[in-house]
Amino acid sequence: MSFQAPIGTRDIFAPESKTIGALIAKFASLVELAGFDLLISPLFEDYEVFARSAGQASEVVSKEMYVFSDRGGREMALRPEGTASVVRAFIQHQNPTPFKAWYATPAFRYEKPQAGRYRQHHQLGLEVIGSASPSCDIEIIELATSFLKSIGISNFTLLVNSMGDENCRPLYREALLDYLGSKKTELCQDHQDRFKLNPLRVLDCKKPECTSVTKDAPMIDAMLCQECSSHHQEVLKGLSLLAIDFISAPRLVRGFDYYTRTTFEIQSNSLDSSQNAIGGGGRYDKLVEKLGGKSETPGIGFGMGLERLVLVLEANGIEIAPKQSPDVYLVDLSSNLNSPVLAGLLRRCGISVDYSYEKGSMKSQMRHANKSGATLAIIFGQRELERGLYKIKDLATGEESEVPLTAIEEAILEKLSKIG
């Protein structure tokens, strides 16, 4: 019987795996400068953690979550997104505020696999819990856009909206419900049946029927209360002062019920328009309370899809994790296990080393040395070992020299520095 990875999942090898590792490292170095620390939380949680946060009517909960009962009969779910687990961890451990965390995690959604989005995909994200200030929103968006620019991605579009709060959104929801009710038969088949559960999701529908109907629908920006409007204008002002280009997008609602006030999405201009979102997020001022924490504990964050980022890098010919050739290749013609010992000694000095486990002839090992792209070859057999001398060969020029074992590290480092 031959086993394969489950549908919608895949094995990620180099060079893509190296690119993903480099993306995580670059993200960590950027956000840790802003005071964020890595949080590693479980890949599965109590089902209610995600159901309460995303909303029972959301497609993530109703259609896409991987739900299972463990051996104790508890209903659990694999993580569909990063925010809920961070909020649960914050509540459980009573972290001081502002709580600032970043994560890099697999996420699981049962949906049709598409470009850059699989049933197991990977997300980078960060969250701030405990601040309602617009300055926090500005920092989150600035970090998201700065990260993209730091990896060479500049051709993206930032969409920004406000979802209002518990004071103004219910009024908008009713106005939208009335409008959609009058146009029910013109909506796509899915939303004819479901628009009453979550009317705001109709604004995000990409099907032409809903797009046509909602072009004249009431928009939330015209119905924000004074507090939400002031908050939104402060955010937009801050982005302008930072020279961050954005488009006001009153149709932008994102996919989770927990969003309040600021929401944003970053779309790549290098991907197909139907699958061009590479990240987004927003404020969730009621989520802590919804998951059992203290009321009036605001939060905001964002997530980015690593697979989508890889696609954007490839589309723009950007390489952030170029193939690294070894500094040294060992050509071992002796009858003893000298290669792993010498390789270990050299690696402790920061010299990258490769060699053939199976040894082979001089010709065979030199062929491997040249194929590896190594700068230098160290050639030794029984005669060299008896004399205590090792031959160092520059694989580009063919120049050779002999050095004693006691001086081999210094000799290699000197040659590498000269070669550059």
Report the predicted TM-score, pTM, of the whole model to 2 decimal places. Answer: 0.89
pLDDT at res. 152: 96
Under the banding of pLDDT at 50, 70 and 90, the label for residue 57 is low
Percent of the chain exceeding pLDDT 90 equals 71
Q: Measure Cα distances from 361 to 109, 282, 334, 364, 366 in Å.
A: 51, 61, 11, 5, 8
Ranges of each domain in the chain: 16-163+255-315, 328-419
Under the banding of pLDDT at 50, 70 and 90, the label for residue 147 is very high
Q: Is the pLDDT of residue 99 over 90?
A: yes
Q: CA angle, 263 as apex, 258 and 266 as ends, to 5°? A: 125
**Cβ(69)–Cβ(46) below 8 Å:** no
For residues 99 and 93, what is the distance between their CA atoms, to the nearest angstrom?
11
Under the banding of pLDDT at 50, 70 and 90, the label for residue 256 is low
pLDDT at res. 9: 93
Which CATH number is 328-419 given?
A: 3.40.50.800
**Cβ(369)–Cβ(331) below 8 Å:** yes
**Cβ(301)–Cβ(279) below 8 Å:** no
Helices (H), 183-225: 189-194, 208-214
Helices (H), 348-407: 362-372, 382-387
What's the whole-number mean pLDDT along residues 283-306? 94
What's the whole-number mean pLDDT along residues 286-305? 94
Lowest mean pLDDT among 86-90, 180-184, 375-379, 389-393: 180-184
Q: Which residue has the higher pLDDT, 262 or 338?
A: 262
Lowest mean pLDDT among 8-17, 147-156, 199-208: 199-208
SS3 state of residue 268: strand
Residue-wise pLDDT for 310-344, tens only, equals: 999 999 999 998 888 999 999 999 877 789 999 99
* The CATH number, out of the four listed (3.40.50.2020, 3.40.1190.20, 3.30.930.10, 3.40.50.1100), of the domain defined by the range 16-163+255-315: 3.30.930.10
Lowest mean pLDDT among 61-65, 66-70, 136-140, 241-245: 61-65
